[in-house]
Structure 1
Amino acid sequence: MSVLNTVPFEKFHGTGNDFFVVDADDPVPDRPAFARTHCDRNAGIALDESDRRGADGVLFLALESRYDPPRVVMTLVQPDGSVAAMCGNGARVAAAWAAERTGSDEIMIDTPAGTRRATLDDGNVTVEMGVPSFRPRDVPLASDEELVEAEVEGLTVTAVNTGVPHAVAFVDDVDDVDLEAVAPSIRHAPLFPDGTNVTIASPDGEGGFRQRTFERGVEGETQSCGTGAVAVVAAAKRLGHVSGDDPIDVSPPGGTLSVTVPDEGSALLGGPAVHEGDGEADIVFRER
């Protein structure tokens, strides 16, 4: 492995979903190698000795402050080097990062999945997530039929795209599921030609849901997944577990997110976005 020089980064998290943020004006010639190297949970970078090594991805952000409201172009490179079309918590972090630089409480975020509007209010960031889709071509599925409460590799799942594909399974208690054992076969099932995230959910007893997600690209469970939280509520509405347009709390291990999936219009994802600290990372330009 060869190193050219270093680049400054900031560390953010949204309910435990953590990211290194790099200003796109600072050139990183090989973004996939940079993400694979520094996001590694065993050998990646840490802010200090008490900080967990690595991250769930690197957000390369390009601020375009001349617009009103300001815009930020978001590219999320995941720990395996792939680019994610959308990331709910990543978008909320991108909005917080842009707001720090512009002072605006409204940010437009350009992602591979489309442009999303975010608003900020007293540390809480809410982002439009688009309209969830169950259509086979949107998920996508290797089938002409929607996948609704169908068994796939031992779990009964419903497939929905909330910017990225999710296979959602409702279980009695998320803590009773060995997610690292059951998720990989679903994540790589032939039914999902592009792969899928695997999300499980169980009622929290207060009208909301607990959530755990095995993320494609991370290839493991994360502390929070925003697109997964939206997928839980979208699937719950589709199956009749919930109804109406009121916000619903979804709680991954890292905290609580507020999700609204209206009968018409874009879903909303809200929660905190926290700036943990700053550092410098080696720019990796070649891997052996």
Structure 2
Amino acid sequence: MTVPFQKYHGTGNDFLIIHADEHVPDRGELAERECDRTDGVGADGILFLALEETFDPPRVVMTLVQPDGETAPMCGNGARCAAEWAMDRTGTDSVMIDTQAGTLRADRDGEDVVVEMTDLTFDPDAIPVDADEPVLREEIEGLEVSVVNTGVPHAVSFVDDVDDVALEEVAPPVRHADVFPKGTNVCVASPDGSGGFRQRTYERGVEGETESCGTGAVAIAVTARRLGLTDADPVDVSPPGGDLRVSFNDRGRPTLAGPVEHEFDGEVAVEPPVEP
């Protein structure tokens, strides 16, 4: 048996979208199999979405299952893809997104989809990280990082040039460090010369570098402002897959803006093939 999917990406951060009503016996197994870029469709995760059109604006319930088969509470680019999917189906320019990290509002702004992110925190208990006070510019497993939760944990390191960092070597020890009981994403950022930053991110659950990470872009922007590295608003953040923009609205919450593209549609088997 197969189920239909739509493939979307936000600045290269790509996802299979499957309607939550579709019968998938084991979502984790499906994500492990189909997110594989060699033997599956290839993606940074599967978004299971349920659309509730009776609300104004419409609501979409988002569950992200990552390539390791685990569920992540939040994903910035995933939320933007979910918003585009829902707006395509409802003919609206605004939707509400229910995630495990909270409810977000998303709006279309020209070519971009803008999502208001969850409340961020540097509080160690809320991240979580084993520390008595906020971790700002402290060395963990050989990398100087600042730690923040923007829906998911991030360890952010500011470097001279992100291209000079062997991310696949330096990130895993930090991602798995004992001080992070639930693990962490690892971001490196370098100034772009105009108040913004270039970004590379090693993502927990993907267990590798991704073309873009929305919660990581927000983590870089809010940490840079906390450390006095920029006073720009918006803060431009450029991962390998494109350009994102982090702003701060009148409620003091960050917003994440950037393009979203619908790549193609297809079908996947809901159960693994039987071995001969």
TM-score (norm: length of structure 1): 0.93
Matches within 5 A, 1:183-262: 183-243=171-231, 246-261=233-248
Aligned to 2:262: 275
Q: Matches of 2:140 and 2:249 in 1, distance apart?
A: 28
Unpaired stretches in structure 1, ≥5 consecutive residues: 46-53
Identical-pair percentage = 62
Q: Matches of 1:30 and 1:264 in 2, distance apart?
A: 39
SS in 1 for 2:182: coil
Structure 1 residue ranges, 4+ long, deviating more than 6 angstroms after superposition: 285-288
Residue 16 (structure 1) aligned with residue 12 (structure 2): yes
Matched residue count: 275
Aligned to 1:148: 136
- Contact 1:171–1:200 under 8 Å retained in 2: yes
Cα offset, 1:261, TM superposition = 3.8
Match of 1:7 among 3, 8, 20: 3
Deviation digits for residues 73-128 of structure 1 (CA, Å, limit 9, x no counterpart):
00000000011110000000000000010011010000000000000123310001
- Contact 1:130–1:162 under 8 Å retained in 2: yes
Cα offset, 1:26, TM superposition = 1.1
- Contact 1:17–1:222 under 8 Å retained in 2: yes
State the AA in 2 paired with 1:275. Answer: H
State the AA in 2 paired with 1:257. Answer: L
Cα offset, 1:130, TM superposition = 2.2
SS in 2 for 1:94: helix
SS in 2 for 1:236: helix
Aligned to 2:48: 60
SS in 1 for 2:117: strand
- Contact 2:156–2:188 under 8 Å retained in 1: yes
Q: Matches of 2:251 and 2:55 in 1, distance apart?
A: 28
Residue 81 (structure 1) aligned with residue 69 (structure 2): yes
Q: Matches of 1:203 and 1:132 in 2, distance apart?
A: 22
Q: Matches of 2:14 and 2:54 in 1, distance apart?
A: 28
Q: Matches of 1:263 and 1:251 in 2, distance apart?
A: 24
SS in 2 for 1:253: coil
Aligned residues: CA RMSD: 1.5
- Contact 2:195–2:231 under 8 Å retained in 1: no
